[in-house]
């Protein structure tokens, strides 16, 4: 929880650090209107219906794996780390750790979810019964019952994620093996509980002769009715936007002025007013480098003492870097594209901004 709030302050710091003066001095922060935990939470919003109809998480197979049509996850056992799970499944520990924004040897909560970057072979004999699929011998959910994955962004908490998807916080915690403090980390992949009736208990299905059968729950009580909104025939249809991931960006998608500061995909896109830059998934300890030639205008820290670096470039442009440790440059130093600035922190996200004067701009417009 505390770490999430530190990252929230880091994002705001990076968003306003363009207030450096002409000599690179740091002007300060403006936290006005920032509310990382209660965004949009007002009267009339309730998760009671979702909480009443939340389904149980499917049971893993004997290796601790739950398979869905689109992805697989591993469920941590007591004493597990990403490294022990990767070893058990024959996967590369560094890749699994990077995919989940956590160091390979960090102890995991029992029941914690670890998303697998690649699929592993089916478990074979002894696979568990999947309460979603309704048949044994297959660990996985039917198409349409696959839980959505949510990648935690800087500033988000377990409560804000639960409110976003209208699920109960306790269900979110049980599905993802969260601790009693409900702490989540940027880059963590959470499974969103699937709505639906709980799996039937075999000891309660059969009744005594002559006692009658239990009344089934009506379909209308299994979940909230959809919020139907009719679009006028004259309204224009907005074209859906494509995925905004770093590994889908081509060389022609930006001006080529700057290079990516760290290897990784874009976990959170530019959204003025909510995210003044992009958040890039990065393995802990991955090198972070300058995106282009310029001068280090400022090096400061947020309330959690996380370093923030500002580099001034030609044409009134500045780049901002946050979410790194082991800073290897100094204020006033001249840098080139690729000059090492530091290393990605264990949180697994590097925040990167491009600013034209005091205004933030979409970094992807300037990247190779």
pLDDT > 90 in the chain, percent: 39
187 and 284 fall within a common domain = no
Domain total for the chain? 2
pLDDT at 232: 59
pLDDT at 212: 57
191 and 251 fall within a common domain = no
Contacts of 316 (CB under 8 A, 6+ apart): 356, 357
78 and 177 fall within a common domain = yes
Domain termination site, one of 167, 195, 223: 195
CATH code of 263's domain: 2.70.70.10
In a domain, 69, yes or no: yes
Residue range 263-276: mean pLDDT, rounded: 88
Domain termination site, one of 195, 223, 258: 195
Rounded distance, CA 321 to CA 289, Å?
9
Rounded distance, CA 31 to CA 335, Å?
31
In a domain, 229, yes or no: no
* DSSP code for 23: T
Instruction: Residue 62: give the domain boundaries.
Output: 55-195
DSSP letters spanning 167-227 = --HHHHHHHHT--TT----TT-EEEPPPBSPPPPPHHHHS--TTS-PPPPPPGGGSSPPP-
In a domain, 175, yes or no: yes
In a domain, 75, yes or no: yes
**165 confidence band (pLDDT: 50, 70, 90):** confident
pLDDT tens digit string along 230-241? 655 555 655 555
277 and 185 fall within a common domain = no
DSSP letters spanning 218-252 = PGGGSSPPP---PPPTTSPPPPPPPP--GGG--TT
60 and 187 fall within a common domain = yes
What phi and psi values does residue 10 have, to the nearest 5 degrees?
-60, -45
166 and 257 fall within a common domain = no
pLDDT > 70 in the chain, percent: 63
**302 confidence band (pLDDT: 50, 70, 90):** confident
In a domain, 148, yes or no: yes
CATH code of 159's domain: 3.10.350.10
Residue range 341-358: mean pLDDT, rounded: 90
Count of all residues that appear for the chain in the document: 368
Model pTM greater than 0.85?
no
291 and 359 fall within a common domain = yes
Domain termination site, one of 129, 160, 195: 195
169 and 257 fall within a common domain = no
Residue range 347-358: mean pLDDT, rounded: 90
Indicate if the pLDDT at residue 221 is higher than 60: no
pLDDT tens digit string along 71-116? 999 999 999 999 999 999 999 999 999 999 999 999 999 999 999 9
In a domain, 236, yes or no: no
Rounded distance, CA 195 to CA 53, Å?
6
252 and 361 fall within a common domain = yes
| Stronger pLDDT, 74 or 136, i.e. the higher one | 74
342 and 257 fall within a common domain = yes
Residue range 322-337: mean pLDDT, rounded: 93
Rounded distance, CA 223 to CA 220, Å?
7
Indicate if the pLDDT at residue 17 is higher than 90: no
| Stronger pLDDT, 195 or 14, i.e. the higher one | 195
Number of H helices, E strands in the chain: 7, 16
In a domain, 4, yes or no: no
257 and 169 fall within a common domain = no
In a domain, 25, yes or no: no
């Amino acid at each position: 929880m505390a770490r999430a709030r530190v990252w929230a302050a880091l994002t705001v710091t990076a968003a306003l650090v363009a207030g450096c003066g002409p000599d690179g001095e740091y002007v300060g922060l403006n936290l006005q209107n920032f509310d990382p935990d209660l965004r949009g939470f007002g009267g009339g919003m309730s998760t009671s219906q979702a909480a009443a109809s939340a389904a149980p998480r499917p049971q893993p197979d004997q290796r601790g794996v739950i398979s869905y049509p689109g992805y697989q996850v591993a469920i941590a056992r007591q004493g597990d780390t990403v490294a022990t799970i990767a070893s058990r499944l024959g996967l590369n520990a560094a890749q699994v750790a990077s995919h989940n924004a956590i160091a390979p040897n960090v102890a995991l909560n029992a029941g914690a979810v670890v998303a697998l970057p690649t699929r592993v072979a089916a478990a074979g004999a002894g696979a568990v019964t999947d309460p979603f699929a309704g048949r044994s011998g297959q660990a996985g959910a039917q198409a349409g019952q696959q839980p959505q994955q949510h990648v935690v962004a800087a500033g988000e908490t377990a409560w804000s994620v639960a409110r976003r998807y209208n699920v109960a916080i306790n269900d979110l915690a049980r599905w993802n093996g969260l601790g009693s403090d409900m702490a989540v980390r940027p880059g963590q992949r959470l499974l969103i509980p699937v709505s639906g009736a709980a799996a039937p208990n075999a000891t309660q299905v059969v009744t005594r002769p002559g006692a009658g059968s239990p009344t089934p729950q009506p379909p209308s009580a299994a979940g909230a009715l959809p919020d139907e909104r009719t679009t006028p025939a004259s309204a224009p249809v907005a074209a859906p936007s494509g995925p905004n991931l770093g590994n889908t960006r081509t060389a022609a998608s930006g001006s080529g002025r700057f290079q990516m500061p760290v290897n990784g995909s874009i976990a959170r896109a530019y959204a003025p007013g909510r995210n003044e830059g992009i958040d890039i998934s990065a393995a802990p300890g991955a090198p972070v480098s300058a995106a282009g030639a310029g001068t280090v205008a400022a090096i400061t820290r947020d309330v959690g003492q996380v370093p923030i670096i500002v580099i001034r470039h030609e044409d009134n442009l500045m780049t901002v870097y946050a979410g790194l440790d082991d800073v290897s440059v100094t204020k006033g130093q001249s840098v080139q594209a690729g000059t090492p600035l530091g290393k990605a922190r264990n949180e697994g996200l590097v925040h990167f901004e491009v600013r034209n004067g005091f205004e933030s701009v979409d970094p992807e417009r300037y990247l190779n």
